[in-house]
Amino acid sequence: MLLVCPAGNLPGLIAAVDAGADAVYLGFRDQTNARAFAGLNFGDADLRAGVAYAQARGRKVYVALNTYPGPSRIAQWQGAVDRAAEFGADAIIAADAGLLAYAARTHPRLDRHLSVQGSATTQAALSWYHEHFGISRAVLPRVLSVQQVERICEQSPVPLEVFAFGSLCIMVEGRCQLSSYVTGQSPNRHGVCSPASFVRWEDHADGSRTVRLNSVLLDVYASGEAAGYPTVCKGRFVVGGETFHALEEPTSLNTLSLLPRLRSAGVAALKIEGRQRSSAYIRTVTRVWREAIDRLRQDADRWRELPEWNAALSAHAEGHQTTLGPYHRSWH
Amino acid sequence: MRLTLGPLQYFWPRRQVLDFYAESLDWPLDVVYLGETVCSKRRELNLRDWVGLAEQQTKAGREVVLSSLALIEAESELGALRRLAGLGNVRIEANDISAVQVCRRHGVPFVGGPSLNVYNLETLRLLQDDGLYRLVLNVEMGCELVAELRQAAAAAGCDLPELELIAWGRLPLSYSARCFTARALDLAKDQCGFRCIEYPDGLPLSTREGRHFLTINGVQMQGAENCDLLPEWTELAAAGIGLLRLYPQQHGTAQAVRRFDAVRGGAAVPPREPGCTAGYWSGLPGMQPPP
């Protein structure tokens, strides 16, 4: 089982490789990837250095090109595929069918992974992408229960990658227009959810804080209360007279306890979310998962999740809380 | 422009569904989409019921399209879709790539639904090769992207398929594996008791300041307000939109169809219905009131 870790910049990539990632994924400094944040991602020099650093140590570099270009921007996205190939990346991670077709046609030797943004949740959908574009791996959306993951592993025409740890989208990836409904900018088209330029935090005299997204009140935090990401899905709203996290709590996915089951199911790769997070996050989370996977490989019968692993992961989780999320049926 | 009745997004009691579609036989519609698109647990109508409704609508001279779920997770859901495709002589609205694959395998012509991610000509042409004959534009697609698509097609010397735009009703915004109705009622999804049947127009969600913001509809989230693009009629026709979709809502659907049809018949374009948005058409965020 490969460990695939995020890198928001060169120090992040080095941290991931040094901590034991089998592969790192990264993006360019534009809207071709779903973490199009200011100050994040890779320019040419960093990319060259990053690919060299990883490959010299036998690790792989995947380039995320997982947004959906409109008709006038497809040439730019195709250029990004060319760039990934030119810099010697091991694979691209893409969602748009037109872009996957271009990559298959133009760079047949560059591996193509289907992004989680492609929303493939069945053997039929995976077959469609495989038959059309020869994808060599697919990342499953974070909506399936572990039983469903096991079933789809049996039937899939391609090896599968699943999310192991990190921030959790409550909506099916690639099928959420909540950010776009409020701001006009979407993960699909602009590579951002709740863009920072639309987020307004306000501190009040009583110590409380409010957060708004383009004038829509997402939440009010009492003095000292931990705040979640300022996304629509993590806000507190009023439904039927009750105020609560109507869509999702600020929490992170942590599937450590499912590791043996995911391995038995034949999952090919585990993905850590968080290109927008610090190198410290990347280092800690990668180290924990590396150790957990290695111990499982060495002695599956005696494998137990260690409390110190979960303590380290929780310290880096959103709201310091973790959940098995969709893998656990009761979450739905 | 042709008028279409989109698939029913809510869970209504069987009698209400049958009455609604019986009433719709008198409405000036060209295309009717039938079937459950939101949650496979909603089974007030079975496949035979839907096929019966399809026959009624076909007799009334409408093109009938059977709509797939927007999120297909289980083998049983795929099996239901394969049975539909196997009926022969059907058209399917594919709302998930799984459905595209089933249609392609069975040689069934399909409509690309609004939850497929089609943002450019390259993707669209691939789907056309697989049997797509019409595209319902994703909610985010406004006039600018439609114009770009048309230019790209002209430059490539190819024809676009028929384009359908959501013109009236609540916009479908997102889908999850989690049921938000069950969550609001503090129920597990597996023991939901089908309580969404109590909310035939969805469950309103407001901000802590009391602003009606979104609508909960099982695993789907919708906008709070209806969108109404009738004031843009002339512009939509000029942009080459061939069909306008009106979504069934608990109230006002019949009147909405008649308003649109009146404009089609030459009546003056009326102002927007009070409280409605103009969706994404003009390039603004979907929830913003039009300028």
pLDDT of residue B75: 87
Angle between helices B97-106 and B75-86 (to 10 degrees): 40
pLDDT in tens, B93-121: 999 999 999 999 999 999 999 999 999 99
Please state, rounded to an integer, the average pLDDT across all residues of chain B.
Answer: 96
The partner residue sitting opposite B206, judged by closest CB among A102, A238, A331, is A238
Task: Identify from B41, B141, B160, B176 which residue to disrupt to test chain A contact, counting A C-beta atoms within 10 A and taking the largest count.
Answer: B176
Judging contacts by C-beta atoms under 8 Å, the chain A residues touching residue B221 are 171, 178, 247
Judging contacts by C-beta atoms under 8 Å, the chain B residues touching residue A184 are 280, 283-286
pLDDT of residue B13: 98
Find tokens 């199911």 and name the residue. A265
Q: What is the pTM of this model?
A: 0.96
Residue of chain B nearest A95, judged by CA positions = B117
| H or E stretch at B203 | strand B203-206
pLDDT of residue A303: 96
Asked if B208 lies within 8 A of A242 by C-beta distance, the reply is no
Task: Identify from A72, A117, A122 which residue to disrupt to test chain B contact, counting B C-beta atoms within 10 A and taking the largest count.
Answer: A122
- Judge whether B211 lies within some domain: no
Is B139 within 8 Å of chain A by CB?
yes
- Structure-model confidence comparison of residues B285 and A287, the more confident one: A287
Judging contacts by C-beta atoms under 8 Å, the chain B residues touching residue A173 are none
Strand partners, B214: B205, B223
pLDDT of residue B245: 98
- Measured CA to CA, the distance from residue A253 to residue A261 in angstroms comes to 16
Is B216 within 8 Å of chain A by CB?
yes
Q: What mean pLDDT is predicted for residues A108-121?
A: 97
Asked if A331 contacts A323 with a C-beta cutoff of 8 angstroms, the reply is yes
b/e map of A278-300 (b: 16 or more CB within 10 Å)?
A: ebebbbbbbbbbbbbbebbeeee
State phi, psi for A129 to the nearest 5 degrees.
Answer: -70, -35
Which residue type, as a one-letter code, is found at position A70?
G
- Judge whether B285 lies within some domain: no
Asked if B173 lies within 8 A of A178 by C-beta distance, the reply is yes
ipTM of model = 0.96
Task: Identify from A31, A154, A181, A324 which residue to disrupt to test chain B contact, counting B C-beta atoms within 10 A and taking the largest count.
Answer: A181
Characterize the bridge pairing of strands B31-34 and B63-67: parallel
SS3 A165: strand
pLDDT in tens, A143-165: 888 999 999 999 999 999 999 99
B278 has pLDDT over 60:
yes
A283 has pLDDT over 80:
yes
- Judge whether B84 lies within some domain: yes
Largest CA distance in chain A: 60
Residue A289 CA, distance from chain mean position: 16
Smallest CA-to-CA distance from B54 within B253, B288, B46 is with B46
Residue of chain B nearest A143, judged by CA positions = B177
- Measured CA to CA, the distance from residue A68 to residue B22 in angstroms comes to 40
Judging contacts by C-beta atoms under 8 Å, the chain B residues touching residue A68 are 117, 119-120
pLDDT in tens, B211-255: 999 999 999 999 999 999 999 999 999 999 999 999 999 999 999
pLDDT in tens, B48-96: 899 999 999 999 999 999 999 999 988 889 999 999 898 888 999 999 9
Helix then strand then coil, % of chain B, to nearest 5: 35, 20, 45
The partner residue sitting opposite B101, judged by closest CB among A74, A128, A188, is A128
Q: Domain containing B23 — which CATH number?
A: 3.20.20.220
Q: Work out how many domains chain B is built from and give that number.
A: 1
Asked if B172 contacts B215 with a C-beta cutoff of 8 angstroms, the reply is no
Angle between helices A123-133 and A146-155 (to 10 degrees): 40
Q: How many residues does chain A have?
A: 332
- Judge whether B68 lies within some domain: yes
Min Cα separation B180/chain A (Å): 6
Q: Is B12 exposed, middle or buried (0-12, 13-18, 19+ CB in 10 A)?
A: buried
Min Cα separation B16/chain A (Å): 24
pLDDT in tens, B166-182: 999 999 999 999 999 99
Residues ≥6 apart with Cβ < 8 Å to B201: B10, B215, B249, B250, B251
Is B22 within 8 Å of chain A by CB?
no
Residue of chain A nearest B220, judged by CA positions = A171
Structural domain that includes position B255: 2-172+227-264
Asked if A292 contacts A259 with a C-beta cutoff of 8 angstroms, the reply is yes
Confidence band for B291, pLDDT divided at 50, 70 and 90: low
State phi, psi for B142 to the nearest 5 degrees.
Answer: -100, -170
For residue B172, the number of C-alpha atoms closer than 13 Å in the C-beta half-sphere is 33
pLDDT in tens, B20-42: 999 999 999 999 999 999 999 99
Distances (CA, A) of A308 to A248, A272, A278, B40, B106: 26, 18, 20, 41, 53
- Judge whether B55 lies within some domain: yes
- Judge whether B51 lies within some domain: yes
- Structure-model confidence comparison of residues A257 and A319, the more confident one: A257
Find tokens 């307000």 and name the residue. B225
B46 has pLDDT over 80:
yes
CA pseudo-torsion sign A114, A116, A119, A125 = positive
Cα–Cα–Cα angle for B217, B221, B224, nearest 5°?
90
Is A184 within 8 Å of chain B by CB?
yes
A324 has pLDDT over 90:
no
SS3 A21: coil
Selected residues 132-171 of chain A with any CB under 8 Å from a CB in chain B: 132, 143-144, 148, 151, 170-171
**Residue B72 in tokens:** 């297909």
- Judge whether B20 lies within some domain: yes
B290 has pLDDT over 70:
no
pLDDT of residue A257: 94
pLDDT of residue B289: 62
Asked if B96 lies within 8 A of A98 by C-beta distance, the reply is no
Judging contacts by C-beta atoms under 8 Å, the chain B residues touching residue A123 are 78
Radius of gyration of chain B (CA): 18
Find tokens 């597996």 and name the residue. B190
- B143 assigned ligand-binding residue: no
Could you say which DSSP state residue B113 is in? P
Is B241 within 8 Å of chain A by CB?
no
pLDDT of residue A176: 96
